[in-house]
Every structure is written in structure tokens, then in C-alpha cells.
Amino acid sequence: MAAVSAAEAGATAGMLMADAPSEPGAVLRVGRDASLCRLSTPDDWLFVSRVHLEFQCAQDGSWQLTWLRGSLPEPSSEVRLAVGEYAQPVAYGGTVGLPRGGSGEVVIQDRAAPRSVNVGFYHEV
């Protein structure tokens, strides 16, 4: 995961790494609350919820991504999933499947400032 602001563009800023086994029920969360999330952003980045994203391994070993709903009715960010040249928005409160044996990136983009959180993923088969 990389957390990047406009002032840090072009630099490697806030890089963190985490992994989780592809075992049913495995979960990896992204958000501001380091006590609940394996990948956490700066506390003052309020466009990211305390627990913003959840990667979860299903019974068949596939992974899915959920953008968890926060305390606000409208989010302060946008989330998109990019796999290769294909990119799609993720709905607020929505869940999307991740490609089995693939890689990509999930981007949390602040709606009010030029900063983002980029979470790369790779799924081994």
C-alpha cells in the first residue's frame, strides 16, 4: 500500500506491506484505525474511514473486496479497482470479486484534495 499526497507525488511515500493466506475466512483490512487494520493510513486522512476496505477470502479460495460503509451517508472518497488496463469503480458499500491468480490495484481517491491511497494486490494460485 502507498499513501500519496500531491506534495509527495513521484516519491515513494508511506509504503506498507501485508499478506494474508488464501484460506477461507482470512481477512485483511485497510483504514485509519491501526488496531483494526493491517494496513493503516495517517490519522488525519479523514477521506479514509476507520475501516475502509476489507479483503476477504471465500470458501473456494477466491478473494473479494468490500468498500465498507462509514458513518457518513456520502463518502469523502472514491474507490476504483484496476486490473491490467481495465478499471471499474467500486460502489460505496459494494463488493467485487478479485481475479483468481491475478494482480491489480485498488485506489482510494480523496474527493477534496489531490491525495490517494493505492493498495496493490497479487493472488497466487
Residue 16 located in a structural domain: no
Residue 49 located in a structural domain: yes
pLDDT in tens, 10-46: 444 555 677 777 889 999 999 999 999 999 888 889 9
Of residues 111 and 8, more confidence is placed in 111
Q: Which domain holds residue 80?
A: 21-123
Contact between 89 and 79 under an 8 Å Cβ cutoff? The reply is: yes
Residue 87 located in a structural domain: yes
pTM of the model: 0.85
Interatomic CA distance for residues 2 and 14, integer angstroms: 5
Question: What is the DSSP code string of 34-84?
Answer: TTT-SEE--TT-TTS-SS-EEEEE-TTS-EEEEE---SSSS-SEEEEEEET
Per-state percent for the chain, helix, strand, coil, to nearest 5: 0, 40, 55
Contact between 112 and 76 under an 8 Å Cβ cutoff? The reply is: yes
Residue 10 located in a structural domain: no
Residue 95 located in a structural domain: yes
Residue 4 located in a structural domain: no
- Which triple of cell numbers denotes residue 18? 501485508
pLDDT in tens, 52-109: 999 999 999 899 999 999 888 999 999 999 998 999 999 999 999 998 888 899 999 9
pLDDT band at 2 (very low <50, low <70, confident <90, very high): very low
Residue 89 located in a structural domain: yes
Which residues touch 35 (CB under 8 Å, ≥6 apart)?
A: none
- Which triple of cell numbers denotes residue 119? 493498495
Residue 86 located in a structural domain: yes
Number of domains in the chain: 1
Give the CATH number for residue 43: 2.60.200.20
